[in-house]
Amino acid sequence: MNIVVMGQGAMGLLWYHHLSQAQKFQTKKTQVQNKGTGDIYPLSKLSLLASNQQNLTQNYYQFTALNNQTYNGIVNYAQPEQLQTADTVFLCLKSYQISDAITQIAEQLKTSCTIILAHNGIGTLEKLPQAIINKHAIYALLTTHGCLRNAPLNITHTGSGVSSLGLISGNKCGEQDNVRDEQITSILHNALPLVKFETNIAIKQWLKLAINCVINPITALNNIDNGLVNNTQFTWQIEALLIEIIAVAKTQGIALVKEELQKSVQEVAQATEKNCSSMRCDVLANRQTEIDYINGYIHRLGIKHNIATPENTKVWQQVKGLGSKL
């Protein structure tokens, strides 16, 4: 198994670190084994493809674990031969970077190479060239792990979480595909548990999207920590956003329940009360936000299906406006 992790941000390095530890310490006991055939899947090659790696002189990273222990690890930067033989390319990038990033490497990848997308929001698949969609099985990975980038190639794991992996595009027809799903899930789970394979990842993507559609713009527009989203001043706005999301989700065959979404938003805001949401951090750091793939996605689907989404459209425009003032 040859894995190339793409992206040297917090999530990219979190996975790179755990996969490299799993590779280093794999023994007969911890190697991933197919329960049916008994085949062993050793993680034999791991590399990191950084966005600007030709300019990077540093070849080590620093990782601070949940128990505050610090590790220095070597970065094995991906070279063309790693991409050409990759079994999985794991993109830990922002949603707006996905299409360009895959297009740049696509010609080098073999057909059997699977692609994993780990980002906030939905809508990146639609932006990919059809040839790439036809060629590769594509998975989405959703995670609740918290991780902070302190400096370039220096991250802290701030909160333990769980991850879900599911196929969003590509064949799902035979025994071979089941083996492939099991193999990828096992390798990721072995590195950073828990990772669960979901046959219906779409519903999980929509649940996460709904949470991001509420917490991200409200925290970014009001410059507040996540916990303050539970303040009653936002109750009406949260309800309006969720009602529109539920109507749009229905057009995709996804049934969401308002009360359940309200509860999830409340719980996530509470569990991450002192955190700065990714969108607020992006705005504060003058970076592009993922708003086009969060409330912007609801806005676009609303237009396509003739459903009014005034509140999502409003916050989408307001967050875009924040960017243009910077």
Contact residues for ligand PAF, defined by CB under 6 A: 120, 211-212, 215-216, 226, 268, 272, 275, 277-278
Minimum gap (Å) between residue 273 Cβ and ligand PAF: 10
| Between 46 and 122, CB nearer to ligand PAF | 122
Minimum gap (Å) between residue 272 Cβ and ligand PAF: 5
Residue listed under structure tokens 């906030």: 120
Residue 13: is the preceding peptide bond cis (ω within 30°)?
no
Q: Residue with CB nearest ligand PAF?
A: 278
Cα dihedral angle (301, 167, 80, 40), rounded to 10 degrees? 170
> Which sign, positive or negative, has the C-alpha torsion 120, 123, 127, 133?
positive
Q: Shortest CA distance to 64 belongs to which of 136, 159, 138, 181? A: 159
CA–CA separation, 77 and 190 (whole Å): 22
| Between 244 and 290, CB nearer to ligand PAF | 290
DSSP characters over 65-129? -TTS-EEEEE--B--HHHHHT-SEEEE-S-GGGHHHHHHHHGGGS-TT-EEEE--SSS-SGGGS-
Minimum gap (Å) between residue 256 Cβ and ligand PAF: 16
| Between 73 and 161, CB nearer to ligand PAF | 161
CA–CA separation, 189 and 183 (whole Å): 10
Minimum gap (Å) between residue 73 Cβ and ligand PAF: 25
| Between 211 and 298, CB nearer to ligand PAF | 211
Minimum gap (Å) between residue 142 Cβ and ligand PAF: 9
CA–CA separation, 221 and 217 (whole Å): 6
| Between 158 and 169, CB nearer to ligand PAF | 158
> Which sign, positive or negative, has the C-alpha torsion 300, 301, 304, 310?
negative
| Between 166 and 217, CB nearer to ligand PAF | 217
Minimum gap (Å) between residue 277 Cβ and ligand PAF: 4
| Between 7 and 181, CB nearer to ligand PAF | 7
Minimum gap (Å) between residue 280 Cβ and ligand PAF: 8
Minimum gap (Å) between residue 206 Cβ and ligand PAF: 14
| Between 39 and 260, CB nearer to ligand PAF | 260
DSSP letter at 53 equals: G
How many other C-beta atoms lie within 10 A of the C-beta of residue 274?
Answer: 8
CA–CA separation, 164 and 302 (whole Å): 27
Distance separating the N- and C-terminal Cα atoms of the chain: 44
**Bridge partners for 90 per DSSP:** 5, 116
